[in-house]
Amino acid sequence: MPALYELEKAYEASKKDRGFQKELLHLQKTYIGRPTPLYFAKRLTEESGGAKIYLKREDLAHTGAHKINNALGQAILAKRMGKKRLIAETGAGQHGVATATGAALTGLECEIYMGSVDIARQSLNVFRMKLLGANVLEVSAGSKTLKDAINEALRDWTTNVRTTHYVLGTVFGPHPFPVMVRDFQSVIGKETKKQILEAEGRLPDYLIACVGGGSNAMGLFFNFLEDDVKMVGVEAGGRGIYTGEHAARFAGGSTGVFQGTKSYLLQDDDGNVLGTHSVSAGLDYASVGPEHSFLRESGRVDYTFANDDEALSAFDLLSKTEGIIPALESSHALAEALKLAPRLSKDNVIIVNLSGRGDKDVQHVARIKGIEL
Amino acid sequence: MKSRINRKFKEILNKKTKAFIPYIMAGDPDIRRTKELVGILEDCGADIIELGVPFSDPLADGPTIQKAAQNALDAGVTLHSVIELVGTLRNDTQIPIILMTYYNPIFKYGEDKFVHDASAAGVDGIIVPDLPPDEADNLIRLSRKSNFDTIFLLAPTSNEDRIRKVSKASSGFIYYVSITGITGSRLSMDSSIESHVARIKNLSGKPVAVGFGISTPEEAAAVSRFADGVIVGSAIVKKVGDTDEDLRGYLLSLRSAIR
């Protein structure tokens, strides 16, 4: 608890610290490459035959996903707090790569926890983290995926709290993480609003984003919450809700308290956390950011899911029609856009958060298709 | 009315000795063995028994107790069945029993029903490592009404504000975590533990038991010089598969070291 209070205090101070804000803005611009483009996907729009589909190109951010927005913010904060070492959990590897990048940039030591199942399906990112000077620690406990990596990172943080900052990668965990991560990611929505006003002269009808822990979705949604814009969060339907092999917390879960957060949780009758499945490691998680639970309960945001197969088709389709290979996580959001667009008129506008690029998934997809590389 | 744990600490104080508080995981490897182990622990001089409730994601625990929790889950053990077990144990023993459980099983069970069922079965108190007192108002209120002790944790990083808050929320005793870390880590004995424990006793006026990382009789002896109780977990959990003779020998060596 003292570590959380210390972090909360430092984070609140950083919001008012002009030096910190200036450094963050400067790095966002010159290092991450912000603002990322808002791209009108003309051929995808024609293909789906309905509403205009725009893509917020977080895949073009440095390191290939939105994760860097948060990791870099927290790395600078940790450095200012006098911490010597960064640790993080990672599922798909994108947050691990982003944290390793932030550590390299700020000159901090870095260790990344990753489940052994995820290490196997994201070997490219494991090697990237090593190249960036981070040590990757394999977690073979429990389901050997993201939740177990978070458990292990929390255990490490408890042990080394004096010297170490835990860069939690999503809008989850104990306060102040959900708020801090959302704020660092909210640059996505801030830019998107400006860009769509320039492109269309009006706000979009729909925002769509995939939801694992939910940081890219919160980042996109946050600045539109007060506007007349519909929003859809897309969870991982895995092999189908009825099979039990999925990570759709809203469709298949109930309220629980896990890893310091009260939110929707996939759990059994005794309160033990259930195993999850998704083709995408980044969505393969048993709980979801508490603010998403709030937005769902209040009815402000709709939550749905896309199955593995639907995400894989969207992955193929975007690659072929637009020349953009999306992350499997983002492919879930695309799958929902492809279902929604044909039901809307050609004047409607949908913005999909293309949260990451798919290079990391290429080997995994080849394996699923039975192709040897 | 004083709780069974209060009475036990009073008795210990009068005898000018210190409490030996062993921990085992309920249901590791099965409930039948846990019943036997409780008998062995009491025979070997335990004052209070801490029973772990298995959870899928035991955040505060190291590899030994993680493994034990998995064994118990594989045996189908749940918070329900651990409460039932204590009910059965009460036919044979009146030793104070505390459950150490993570919060989500209690949340799912329902705080109200949990406190009711657990105290009716003869459970004397709880330790919930992932529930800070800041979030425990309701559970504390329910527990006070049922004379059910709530034991919260303090760590080497806890400042004075924290100590006051945890002292107020705790009944029975306060659990001082000897290290920043997880169960089963190596203890590093330095004078700061002693001064910290002294400060907590001073500020709270409540008994303070020390746990996490204590495994040898020498360590137990050193800690018992300044703490009111010594908690040994992982080191015992590692030995539950040994012969009863070896296990008894080890427990007796801890018991005689704690004074």
Q: What is the 3-state secondary structure (H, E, C) of chain A?
A: CHHHHHHHHHHHHHHHCHHHHHHHHHHHHHHHCCCCCEEECHHHHHHHCCCEEEEEEHHHCHHHECHHHHHHHHHHHHHHCCCCEEEEEECCCHHHHHHHHHHHHHCCEEEEEEEHHHHHHCHHHHHHHHHCCCEEEEECCCCCCHHHHHHHHHHHHHHHCCCEEECCCCCCCCCCHHHHHHHHHCHHHHHHHHHHHHHHCCCCCEEEEECCCCHHHHHHHHHHCCCCCEEEEEEEEECCHHHCCCECHHHHCEEEEECCEEEEECECCCCCECCCCCCCHHHCCCECCHHHHHHHHCCCCEEEEEEHHHHHHHHHHHHHHHCCCECHHHHHHHHHHHHHHHHCCCCCEEEEEECEECHHHHHHHHHHCCCCC
What pLDDT sits at residue A373?
85
Whether B50 is catalytic: yes
pLDDT, tens digit (0-9, with 9 covering 90-100), for A282-312:
999 999 999 999 999 999 999 999 999 999 9
* Interface contact flag, B159 A267, Cβ < 8 Å: no
Kindly state the average pLDDT of the residues B102-127.
98
Contact by Cβ (8 Å): A260, A158: no
Residue percentage of chain B with pLDDT more than 90: 92
What pLDDT sits at residue B1?
63
Please, which pLDDT band fits residue A259 given cuts at 50, 70 and 90? very high
What pLDDT sits at residue B2?
84
* pLDDT at B191 > cutoff 90: no
A chain contacts of residue B76, beta-carbon cutoff 8 Å = none
Look at the block and give the residue holding tokens 């856009």: A337
- Which residues share a beta bridge with A254? A265
pLDDT, tens digit (0-9, with 9 covering 90-100), for B147-168:
999 999 999 889 999 999 999 9
What pLDDT sits at residue B179?
82
Name the average pLDDT for chain B.
95
* pLDDT at B125 > cutoff 90: yes
In the set B28, B47, B61, B149, the catalytic residue is: B61
Name the average pLDDT for chain A.
96
B chain contacts of residue A260, beta-carbon cutoff 8 Å = 130
Kindly identify which residue of chain A lies nearest to residue B63, measuring between CA atoms.
A141
Kindly state the average pLDDT of the residues A106-112.
98
Q: What is the ipTM of this complex?
A: 0.93
φ, ψ at B70 (rounded to 5°): -65, -45
Query: Does B235 lie at the interface with A, CB-CB under 8 angstroms?
Result: no
What is the rounded CA–CA span in Å between residue B82 and residue B148? Answer: 16
Kindly identify which residue of chain A lies nearest to residue B162, measuring between CA atoms.
A2
What is the rounded CA–CA span in Å between residue A361 and residue A327? Answer: 7
What's the CA dihedral at B187, B192, B194, B199 to 10 degrees? -130
What pLDDT sits at residue A122?
87
Kindly identify which residue of chain B lies nearest to residue A255, measuring between CA atoms.
B108
Residue percentage of chain A with pLDDT more than 90: 93
pLDDT, tens digit (0-9, with 9 covering 90-100), for A110-120:
999 999 999 98
| Closest residue to B56, CB basis, from A1, A142, A155 | A142
What pLDDT sits at residue A110?
98
Kindly state the average pLDDT of the residues A73-77.
98
pLDDT, tens digit (0-9, with 9 covering 90-100), for A340-351:
999 999 999 999
Whether B61 is catalytic: yes
What pLDDT sits at residue B5?
97
* pLDDT at B190 > cutoff 80: no
Residue A144 structure tokens = 């050997």
B chain contacts of residue A258, beta-carbon cutoff 8 Å = 57, 104
Please, which pLDDT band fits residue A46 given cuts at 50, 70 and 90? very high
A chain contacts of residue B59, beta-carbon cutoff 8 Å = 151, 154-155, 259
* Interface contact flag, B108 A267, Cβ < 8 Å: yes
* pLDDT at A18 > cutoff 90: yes
Which residues in A have their CB inside 8 Å of a CB on B? Answer: 1-3, 141-142, 147-148, 151, 154-155, 158-162, 255-260, 265, 267, 269-273
